[in-house]
Amino acid sequence: MTEPKKPDAPAATGPAKKHAREGKSNPTIYDIAKVAGVNPSTVSRALSKPGRVSAKTQKLIEDAAAELNYQVNQFARALPTGRTSTFGLIVADITNPTFFDIIRGAETTATLRDYTLMLAESEESAVTELTAARRMMATVDGLILASPRMDDDDIRTLARDKPVVVINREVDGVPCVVPDVNKGISEAVRSLAANGHRKVAFVAGPPQSWMSARRWEGMRAACEWSRLEAVRLDSTKPTVNGGREVARVVRDSGATAVLTYNDLLAIGLMQELQAAGMVVPDQISIVGFDDIFGADFTTPPLTTVRSPLGECGSGATTLLLDLLHGMGEPAGILRVETELVLRGSSGRLLPPG
C-alpha cells in the first residue's frame, strides 16, 4: 500500500548516516496486520484494548507480534493520545544524597509498572525549577516534585494540567507525600531529655523550606512537652559547609544538644566542633535528620531521625499511577513515619571537669 521511500541519495546526506535505519525499520502494527491477515486497526485494538477483539484474533495477533519482536512506537502512540508512559522527577540538587533514595524509590516503582523516569535538577532555584517543570509537562504523563522551591500557586497551576505529586511539602489541593516528623522528633527529644539535656538548639534549613519549618515546630512542641528549652539557629546553606559555619553560633548558644535540619548540617557541625576540641557526645550531643547515605560513616556515627525517603519516592510514583489509571481524585496527603536511629553522636552529658 504505502510504497516506502527509497532515496538512493548518492551523496552523503548526514554524518549520522551510520545509525540511520536503512530500509529495515522496526516492525509496525501494519507488519503485524499483514502477517496475521487482519486490519491494522484490529491490531491496535488487540494490543491496547483488551476484550475488544475475539480471543481467536487476539491470539493470532499476539503470536505475530511476538514473532516479529514488535514493540510499540511510543511517539506514534503519544501523538494522538498524549499518553507517554513517562514520569518526570525534579529534585533540587542531584548531589544531595537526600534525593538519591527518592530517585531510586521512584525509578524502581516506575520501571515495575513500565513507566520510565525523566530526571531534572533545579539547582535549588525556584525559577530553574519552574522552567524545568514546564518543559517536562509537555512530555510526561505526570510529575513528581521533590522538595520543590517554587510557590504553592505555581505548583497548583502545574497540577491543573497534569497529575503532580509533591514530596516533602504540603500543598493545598495537590497530592503530597510527607514524612510525619512528630514521632521521630519526639523520640529524639525524649532521648535527649532522658540523658539530662536541658537546652536544645535547632539548626534550621533554608528559610523557604516548608520542611524546615515543620521540623522546628515539631521540635519546639516536643521540647515544651519535655520541659526543655529550645532555641532556633539559622544556617547559611543546608550542606556540610553550612554545618561547619554554624558551629560557632552553636557553641555560643549554650545548648548541650543540637538537632539539625538535615544530616549534612549535622556532619559538618560535628566535624567543626571536633576540630575545635569538643568531644561528641560527651560535651555535646548531635542529632541529624533523614539518615542519608554516609550518616554512619562518621565517628561517632550520627544519631538521626530517619525519613523513609525511598518510600516517599515509590509512594509518590504509586500515587501518580493511581491518579492516571482508574481511581479518581484521592489526592490528600500520604504520611510516612519517621523514627529515631540512635547511634553514637548523642548521649549523656559528662559533667565538665
Partner DNA sequence: AGGCAATTGTCAACCGGTTGCCATAAATTG
Partner DNA sequence: CAATTTATGGCAACCGGTTGACAATTGCCT
- Chain residues in the site for its own copies (CB under 8 A): 15-16, 18-19, 21, 23, 26, 71, 73-76, 78-79, 82, 84, 86, 94-95, 97, 100-101, 103-104, 107-108, 111, 116-121, 132, 135-136, 138-139, 160-163, 267, 293-294, 297-299, 323-329
Q: Kindly determine how many residues on this chain lie close enough to bind DNA according to the rule CB under 7 A.
A: 38
Q: Does 25 bind DNA (CB under 7 A)?
A: yes
Partner whose binding site includes residue 42, from its own copies, DNA, none (CB under 5 to 8 Å by kind): DNA
List binders of DNA among 65-84 (CB under 7 A): 70, 72-73, 76-77, 79-81
Q: Does 35 bind DNA (CB under 7 A)?
A: no
User: Which position among 22, 23, 50, 56 is part of the footprint of DNA (CB under 7 A)?
Assistant: 56
| CB-nearer residue toward DNA: 44 or 318 | 44
Partner whose binding site includes residue 47, from DNA, its own copies, none (CB under 5 to 8 Å by kind): DNA
Coil, strand, or helix at residue 41?
helix
Q: Are 233 and 250 in contact (CB under 8 A)?
A: yes
Q: Which residues pair with 233 in a beta bridge?
A: 203
| CB-nearer residue toward its own copies: 112 or 194 | 112
Please tell me the distance from the alpha carbon of residue 308 to that of residue 292, in angstroms, as a whole number: 10
| CB-nearer residue toward DNA: 36 or 92 | 36
Side-chain-side CA neighbours of residue 333 (13 Å): 12
| CB-nearer residue toward its own copies: 2 or 95 | 95
Instruction: Kindly write down the DSSP assignment for every residue of 158-174, as one continuous string.
Output: HHHHS-EEEESS-BTTB
Partner whose binding site includes residue 199, from DNA, its own copies, none (CB under 5 to 8 Å by kind): none
For residue 37, give Cα distances in angstroms to 33, 41, 60, 72: 6, 12, 9, 19
| CB-nearer residue toward DNA: 70 or 202 | 70
Partner whose binding site includes residue 49, from its own copies, DNA, none (CB under 5 to 8 Å by kind): DNA
Omega prior to 4 cis, within 30 of 0: no
Which DSSP helix (H) or strand (E) runs through 334? strand 333-337
Q: Does 10 bind DNA (CB under 7 A)?
A: no
Helices (H), 138-262: 152-161, 181-194, 210-225, 240-245, 247-253
Please tell me the distance from the alpha carbon of residue 196 to that of residue 283, in angstroms, as a whole number: 12
Which three cell numbers, joined as nine digits, stand for 152? Answer: 504553592
Within 10 angstroms of residue 275's Cβ, the number of other Cβ atoms is 10
* Minimal distance, residue 120 CB to its own copies, in Å: 7
Residues in contact with DNA by the rule CB under 7 A: 1-5, 7, 13, 15, 17, 25-26, 28-30, 38-42, 44-45, 47-49, 51, 53-57, 70, 72-73, 76-77, 79-81
